[in-house]
Structure 1
Amino acid sequence: MIKLKKIGEAAYEIPKEDKMRVKGVVFINEEMAKSEETHEALQQLKNTAYLPGVKGFVVGMPDIHYGYGFPIGGVVATDGVKGVISPGGVGYDINCGVRAIKTSFELEYFKKKLEEVIIELYNDIPAGVGSRGKIGLSKKDYKSVIIYGAKWAVNEGYGEAEDLEFCENKGYFEGADPSDVSQEARERGRDELGTLGAGNHFVEISYVEKIYQDEAAETFGLFQDQVIIMFHTGSRGFGYQICDDYLKKMRRKSMIDVPDPQLISVYIDDPLGKAYISAMKAAANFAWANRQLITHYIREGFERVFKVSYRKAGLDILYDVSHNIARFETHFVDGKKEFLCVHRKGATRAFPEGSTEIPENYQNIGQPVLIPGDMGRSSYILKGEHESLKKSFGTTCHGAGRLLSRRRAVKQAASRNIRDELERQGIIVMSKSKKTLKEEMPEAYKDVSEVVKIVEINGLATPVARLKPIGVIKG
């Protein structure tokens, strides 16, 4: 078990020892602190403190669990010029993220059409392992997707310019060079644009069950019993292949001593580091374009069911957040302003009010933070707080966090019909695979309400609204 020192009601320190360059800070409660599974992830977090150029402290979120190299729910900042970048700190699904779309519908009216909407979206959004997109990309278009992300999609008619204002980075990273992407990655992604994928990726229709902060809710355009669509997907096989390609290249070249081979890293100013950053940006842009196309399909589906334009139905983007990404940002470390490369793996940016990096409409309140839970309980919309800049490099959790491995979940749910159980709770579920429903059953995840409580206690983010699912689509 990892040595922990309690430093707050729901915060612990991993003391600096051996060759650790910095300490660790983890936001968990006492029950989590006693869990063997948590400590497996904390060992991974501790290992990241050995990386060259790591700054301040490494951070674990309450949804922390075991991942590749870095734990999922980990935040690690390195010197933005002389530090390292690690693909394991971004993850295989580069720019996996969540988008929330508002509607003008209230629950009572919408329920009459719920099943029709779910069937429409299920048939319209390609989902599941090996799912193929509905658009054919020319070489020129593919290159534009890589360079311009969601901006490409909007220019092609899959949305409005205003959509980009409500995405992190306005839906694309500058500096993505297509020549840094392998042919194999291009082939894997060619037919995947506009697809949901499988596993924990989803489309969820929910309603606003509870509002905690009236002013913030009004600013975000939320109201009681409002129907909200939230969906979760990333860069699909395109991003996976880019991660895999660069891990192989780094294994052949890197001489950096790390306690775990999965922490393979290169220096940011190394040509290979620069190439990975460029390719990571390409995958991030693919993911933003992917979410923009799915937004378009959702809007079209609603138009067909309700016979009104999506504008009249109020299908505006609330926000689009990334939770598998490395960004170059400026933060204070030990009272000094530093230029950093912030790795967020299974962790969401949570900038506070006054931040110029968030949409102008939200700057008097703070960044919306989208926290999906599981299929049967709740999801949350939070807002970023100033404490996050001091305690976590402007970051909070990204979801509930897995409690059971997929294998254990399938074993525990072997004799159960998860779809029927959820429908008895009033939640319509459609999925390409019964196995996926077992892997993703509610009990496979931590209680997202407890996770949100911990980030609130620590001042990282504050709840604005709680959402209750009524319809779910899984791959």
Structure 2
Amino acid sequence: MELNGFERLSELEWHLPATDAMRVPVIIYADEALMRDMNDKVREQAVNVAKLPGIVQASYAMPDAHWDYGFPIGGVAAFDPEEGGVISAGGVGFDISCGVRCLHTGLKTQDISRVKEQLADTLFQRIPAGVGSTGAICLDSREMDEMLAGGASWAVQNGFGETADLERIEEGGKMTGADPAQVSQQAKKRQRDEMGTLGSGNHYLEVQRVVEIYDQRIAMGYGLTQDDVVISIHCGSRGLGHQIGTEFLREMAIAAASLNILLPDRELACAPIGSPIARRYLGAMRAAINCALANRQILTHLVRQIFSQLIPQARLPLLYDVSHNTCKVEQHEINGRKRKLHVHRKGATRAFGPGHPDLPPALRATGQPVLIGGSMGTASYILAGTERGMQLAFGSACHGAGRAMSRHQATRLWHGRDIINQLARRDILIRSPSCRGVAEEAPGAYKDVSAVIEVADRAGLAHKVAKLVPLICIKG
């Protein structure tokens, strides 16, 4: 990215002042190397977000930012209904509520060594993954609507998990305001057989080892110690979320002129908060959030069944579940006044600090666990939300490493089978239905996740707690 025009307020904070049609500045958190490695489209898209009506404070980009549809991945923006703020489907994205959950196992690395191959094979056989993957669950119309209204709470009520899981999930496992009636029949049809499936792309299920603890106090609060085995599940709302995003982006773009909205980019299609189309989108998007929460809850249940059969002494309580790609109504202090804002996070993680009332009591002293997935074969991290981060970007942090190249470019450079063999030599077992999918997700196709985490930590967006490395990766 060209850095002309940016004011470097600190080593890790870059401001692009508001000019022309921009209503607020652009703020990017990154070191110089990450800034220069970002595509110029990140700058263009962040500037366009800054032009949207009712945007508050700034158009933010996280250190893993890269360009995407509408908002950049890693984009964060909040809108005030009292100032003509909008809801943008492009500010949420297609994989609504894609997110990560982390499970304890109570095991150490040596506890799984004798069954590692069997565990990898069984997880692969029983966790559906890949493009168009379907599971054993088929929902009828009534069950679909109940799931979209109930989220992970619905899943637990139907035997997929434990009540204790719910307090370790954002929104208590159920997003209020969901309206299944606003979800099209086509979206529901796409999801009917996809509950309890990983999907494809960068989604995964990993068995991981804690290799480093950075903050003993917070790690203890999270129940983490050196050499612990944990499980991370990364997936979202599958075909249903994609269909909702597609439909409402089109509808908002068509309606923009009649709503007196001049779009800086058609991909930023939006509608005024409180307008009929915005209300319908929020109802559908919240239903998709519930779909993603229910999906990860069902996958958790399947993983627990597998571990109970292969390693009976394992116990798999939930550490936490975070969502990316959402728009949520939150209260934040702006210029000394508390305001209810519609916070869009696209490829960004909520990272609430210590004492926040939305955190469960057991985590209120430490701050919210922030789960950051690396690229396949590289490290993942657990961070904690900070008080300072609440003032920087509405309590938001990065969500992953961030792509350094397109999937097409990756397949020209790597072959999936070679990647699988290379990682096997590092004692990382990869199981995937698609060698092309493995090539698309090659470690080299992503930024250095450690560099991204260092920026997030040093900037104060979130605080490093633990580093994880993969032992087994089920890849979609």
**What root-mean-square deviation, in Å, do the aligned CA atoms of Structure 1 and Structure 2 show?**
1.2
Counterpart check, 1:244 vs 2:249: no
Map of 2:143 onto structure 1: 141
Q: How does 1:1-400 map to 2 (within 5 A)?
A: 1=2, 3-35=5-37, 37-81=38-82, 82-255=84-257, 256-306=261-311, 308=312, 312-400=313-401
Deviation, 1:109, is 2.1
Any stretches of 5+ residues in structure 1 without a counterpart? none
- Contact kept? 1:80, 1:328, Cα under 8 Å: no
Deviation, 1:118, is 1.1
User: 2:374, 2:252 → 1: CA distance?
Assistant: 35
Where 1:99 maps in the other structure, the secondary structure is strand
- Contact kept? 2:415, 2:435, Cα under 8 Å: no
Deviation, 1:338, is 1.4
User: 2:334, 2:320 → 1: CA distance?
Assistant: 29
Q: How does 1:426-465 map to 2 (within 5 A)?
A: 426-465=427-466
**One-letter code aligned to 1:406:** R
Where 1:149 maps in the other structure, the secondary structure is helix
User: 2:216, 2:112 → 1: CA distance?
Assistant: 23
User: 1:395, 1:377 → 2: CA distance?
Assistant: 23
Deviation, 1:414, is 4.3
136-145 vs 400-409, greater mean Cα deviation: 136-145
User: 1:273, 1:416 → 2: CA distance?
Assistant: 45
Shift >6 Å, 4+ stretches: none
**One-letter code aligned to 1:407:** H
**One-letter code aligned to 1:141:** E
Deviation, 1:339, is 1.1
Deviation, 1:460, is 1.1
Deviation, 1:32, is 2.1
**One-letter code aligned to 1:210:** E
Deviation, 1:141, is 1.1
**One-letter code aligned to 1:345:** K
- Contact kept? 2:416, 2:435, Cα under 8 Å: no
User: 1:314, 1:370 → 2: CA distance?
Assistant: 20
User: 1:73, 1:233 → 2: CA distance?
Assistant: 17
- Contact kept? 2:330, 2:340, Cα under 8 Å: yes
Name the % identity.
44
- Superposed CA offset, 1:417-446 (max 9, x none): 110000011100011100111111111111
- Contact kept? 1:378, 1:467, Cα under 8 Å: yes
Deviation, 1:315, is 0.3
Deviation, 1:416, is 6.7
- Contact kept? 1:188, 1:237, Cα under 8 Å: yes
**One-letter code aligned to 1:295:** T
- Contact kept? 2:137, 2:194, Cα under 8 Å: no
Any stretches of 5+ residues in structure 2 without a counterpart? none
Deviation, 1:74, is 0.5
User: 2:217, 2:253 → 1: CA distance?
Assistant: 51
TM-score, normalising length: structure 1: 0.97
- Superposed CA offset, 1:105-154 (max 9, x none): 10122122111111111111111011112112122211110101110000
**One-letter code aligned to 1:287:** A
Deviation, 1:409, is 0.8
Deviation, 1:334, is 2.3
User: 1:341, 1:116 → 2: CA distance?
Assistant: 46
- Superposed CA offset, 1:46-97 (max 9, x none): 1100000000111110000011000000000001453100001001000000
User: 2:116, 2:317 → 1: CA distance?
Assistant: 19
Give the count of matched residue pairs.
470
User: 2:194, 2:36 → 1: CA distance?
Assistant: 41
**One-letter code aligned to 1:131:** S
Deviation, 1:415, is 8.8
- Contact kept? 2:415, 2:436, Cα under 8 Å: no
Where 2:114 maps in the other structure, the secondary structure is helix
Change (3 A) 1:416 1:132: closer
User: 2:25, 2:422 → 1: CA distance?
Assistant: 44
- Contact kept? 1:346, 1:398, Cα under 8 Å: yes
Map of 2:407 onto structure 1: 406
User: 1:129, 1:208 → 2: CA distance?
Assistant: 30
Where 2:375 maps in the other structure, the secondary structure is coil
Change (3 A) 1:210 1:408: same
- Contact kept? 2:417, 2:435, Cα under 8 Å: no
- Contact kept? 1:195, 1:290, Cα under 8 Å: yes
Where 1:93 maps in the other structure, the secondary structure is coil
Where 1:417 maps in the other structure, the secondary structure is helix
User: 1:415, 1:185 → 2: CA distance?
Assistant: 31
410-419 vs 293-302, greater mean Cα deviation: 410-419
